[in-house]
Amino acid sequence: MIKKIYTMILFIVSPFFLYKLYKRKKGVPSFGPRWKEHFGFTPKLASKEPPLWIHAVSVGESIAIIPLVKALKKRTPGQPILITTTSSTGAAQIKKLGQLVEHRFMPLDFSFAVKSFLVATTPKRLLIVETELWPNTLDTVKKFGIPISVINARLSEKSYHNYTRIQPLFNLMKDNIDQLLCQTIEDASRFNLLGIDESKISTTGSIKFDIQVPPNTKVKGQELRNKLGTKRKIWIAASTHKGEEDIVLLAHKRLMKSNPNALLIIVPRHPERFEEVNQLCNRHGFETVRRSSNKGVLSSTQVYLGDSMGEMLVFLSAADACFMGGSLAGSKVGGHNILEPAALGTPIVTGVSYYNFNEIVSNMLLSKGIIIVEDELSLSNTMSKLLNSWDTCTTMAKSASVIVKKNQGSIQKTIHNLDLKK
């Protein structure tokens, strides 16, 4: 009965979800004729051998699994890998893997769509990245006799309480999961409290610690820095959300009173908001240059809008300090990946809402590798302190880097626990 009620609700809300997904947005790749894949009309794969199926819902998960995929292919070169994403932006990231994998869009959580997908692709095993759990999908995959593992699994305190509110629905899913590889002991404990058998749970760390900075990233970062100005003080607001940009821009305006030559690189989290943020910068009275315009940055330029895809590491490398978005303005996002700036040696500042990275931030706080800010004033004051103290920046960067290196190795632990020879 619970499953029927869930499916009925899904049927009602899916048109709204699809409208949001397919609505044409500037800077976001179009699905084109591939929209049919969401309904199970999935083209057959090039290889006839059953693939290892990895599902990474969107951009963040897609970026995180790239080192894992490369490690898997190195271990078993002949094993075909199929990666599904829900979003077209996630698909754009997977495209960077080239011939190493095949990509398909994930079918909606309707049994008929999932069945059609499975018949077309015949996967041997499903690896779900983080916690993208869908009742009908798990049930259908299990009925096809396909083992299901959740890798890099995380469950914040907030998400745990949300699941307890729909415990009967979660109960439908938990028995279909064969293996759960969690980021932290706390994540593992919460999943266990929800009813997943302890024997199915292991702690392997976060694969995001195993970030691989491409060799030419710092070269490109220095090239960008040369264009922006080597003698300027530059900070970046990365992966910002609606409401947050206002705080960041006000903080920059305050910062410029003591550092009139300071430059802000602002990179909105969602590409469809690039134009909106550009207009916001103009309304605040900033002389703004967009990355996509290819215009030169003058000494009078105050804001540089990073409105391009796949260049976050380059932007971070070009900056003296980083504020990581999704963490201010009463954010319900819970923060974004602070490990990227840490790996690049860029000092990190985050807002008070960082529950998705709670353990990482807590460890960095203990080693003084990160600073927490609450509002426009504290953000401005903190950035002023960092931009005017090379020693502080260097000390913070080293402390954060130690945390990253200390926690690396999750990919090998994940592969070992998966035991893909089974």
Catalytic residues: 61
**Cα distance from N-terminal residue to C-terminal residue, the chain:** 35
Q: DSSP secondary structure string, 325-352?
A: SSSSTT-SS----THHHHHHT--EEEES
The one-character DSSP state at 51 is P
Beta strands in 119-256 (DSSP E): 125-129, 148-153, 179-182, 201-203, 234-240
278: number of Cβ within 10 Å: 20
Q: What Å distances lie between residue 195 and 106, 276, 381, CA to CA?
A: 27, 44, 46
Exposure letters 381-391 (e unless 16+ CB within 10 A, then b): ebbbebbeeee
Question: 190-201: buried (b, 16+ CB within 10 Å) or exposed (e) per residue?
Answer: bbeebebeeebb
- Say how far apart CA 205 and CA 208 lie, in whole Å: 9
Whole-Å CA distances, 234 to 119, 181, 271, 301, 321: 52, 39, 22, 12, 7
61: nearest Cα among 94, 37, 30, 97: 94
Query: 306 near 266, Cβ under 8 Å?
Result: yes
DSSP letter string over 195-223?
Answer: T--GGGEEE---GGGG----TTHHHHHHH
